[in-house]
Amino acid sequence: MRTRITLECTECKHRNYNTTKDKKEHPERMETKKYCRFCQKHTIHKETK
């Protein structure tokens, strides 16, 4: 079953993205490099609770 997660910028702490992931296949927290409109550059975004 896919669950909804929120991604947060590691630099400015804004929650920019909502997405889904399969917890059975990826139980660890997700980390991706995405564009942050507040920082105006690509930064690492981590999954929040």
For each of the chain's 49 residues, which pLDDT tens digit applies? 899 999 999 999 999 999 999 999 999 999 999 999 999 999 999 999 8
Cβ atoms 36, 43 nearer than 8 A: yes
pLDDT given for residue 49 in this prediction: 80
Q: How far is CA 4 from CA 7, 30, 37, 39, 49, in A?
A: 10, 12, 21, 24, 10
What CATH number is associated with residue 22? 2.20.28.120
Total tally of structural domains belonging to the chain: 1
**Parent domain of 19:** 2-47
